[in-house]
Amino acid sequence: MGLNPFEVAKKQIDIVAKEMGLDPNLTKYLKRVERALIVSIPVVMDDGTLEIYEGYRVHHSTVRGPGKGGIRYSPEVNLDEVKALAIWMTWKCSLLNLPLGGAKGGVCVDPRKLSKRELERLTRRYTSEIINIIGPDIDIPAPDVNTNAQIMSWIMDVYSMQKGRSVPGVVTGKPVEIGGSVGREPATGMGLYYMLEAMCEKLNFNLKSQTIVIQGFGNVGGTIADLLFKEGCKVIAVSDISGGLLYSDGLEIDKLLEWTRQGNTLKDYNDERYKFITNSELLTTECDILIPAALENVITQNNASNLKCKIILEGANGPVTPEADKILYDKGIHVVPDILANGGGVCVSYFEYVQDIRAYFWELDRINKELKKIMLKAFEEVYELSKERKIQLRTAAYIIAVSRIAKAIELRGIFP
């Protein structure tokens, strides 16, 4: 039985509440979600049989604005995971000072076993089941694990048909042709790159001379790997669901991306120079920078002491447990926390939402300039607070994020 991510998220709240002397009543408030919807999703399969899947949509906090958060399709999805992800979205939006709250959704399904038509029917039915708690003023979904721009298009279509007009602002991460934003797809990876540059600058590291290991080779891991490779950095190991490839002289990321974008896995890539390793072996590979960009709870108290890196840049949500955090801190490993490091996605999602509402679209240069400005401002705030109070970057990030939410609750009051 793996770690429960909701319990991890609540433990993180307790840690920061103690550090900042938060009112116990507010701590209690923040450890609960505002609402959680569980839905049944009946789908008539291509062979005429009926399958029924379970789906979720959770709002953790909407005190600072509409909910914002992805939808993931995975056989591991459950309510507690979605609750935890919604909580982390709250902190992420707050830390970047975006006028949004935290939400998340998911369907317990293996999308690889569905045809495109089955996937479309599943998505459309799921959308119709959660339609009353999503919308531009309520909650704005986006892509996440195993979902993409096409799935967002179907969600937008169902919502728009019910409203009798086109409502592009109901989701972000859409194709540009129907109200999506340029720069949205690589935004999380781009944000990671800005954070890594900033962290290396603070530590007086030359980024191009660092060895880098990346767990996860999807949109986020693939994007940051590509950016680093193009900058001349040495990415020595990457992995996907099938396992990883290691080459101490640096992998040819462009060729690996071309291979995986054709639907192939890294395990089947043929290059005699590359050594095949497991995902657990990849995490403990000696390197300067480790980027976990896959799933939560992969660095725990069981493997944290075996990590041999200087910086961990969290591309995934919740990849390091609180117990592991302490071990890493004691080892002198700098962890750039998820709510800061991977905030690029929600930041450009916010830009897309603003563009949809105003029906006025920006150039890519403006997107990247605004993204960098917002992320570096948040990074400086977090880094300065961590130095001032001699605390982990994660604790500093949480203090800033939780303080803003707590202040909003205090100002608005508890109804009635």
Contact criterion met (CB below 8 Å) for 82 and 6: no
How many whole angstroms separate alpha carbon 73 and alpha carbon 64? 27
Write the DSSP symbol of residue 176. Answer: G
Q: 292 pairs with which residues across the strands?
A: 215
Cβ–Cβ < 8 Å for 102, 90: yes
Place of tokens 């996440």: 144
Question: What is the DSSP secondary-structure string of 4-68?
Answer: -HHHHHHHHHHHHHHHHT--HHHHHHHTS-SEEEEEEEEEE-TTS-EEEEEEEEEEEE-TTSSEE
Q: What residues are annotated to the active site?
A: 104
Buried b / exposed e along 167-192 (16+ C-beta atoms within 10 A): bbbbbbbbeeebbbbbbbbbbbbbbb
- Within 8 A by CB and 6+ apart from 143, the residues are 70, 71, 149, 151, 152, 173, 219
**Token pair for 25:** 């009543």
Give CA separation, 280 vs 217, 235, 300, in Å: 15, 17, 11
Looking at the DSSP assignment, which residues form a beta bridge with residue 245?
238, 276
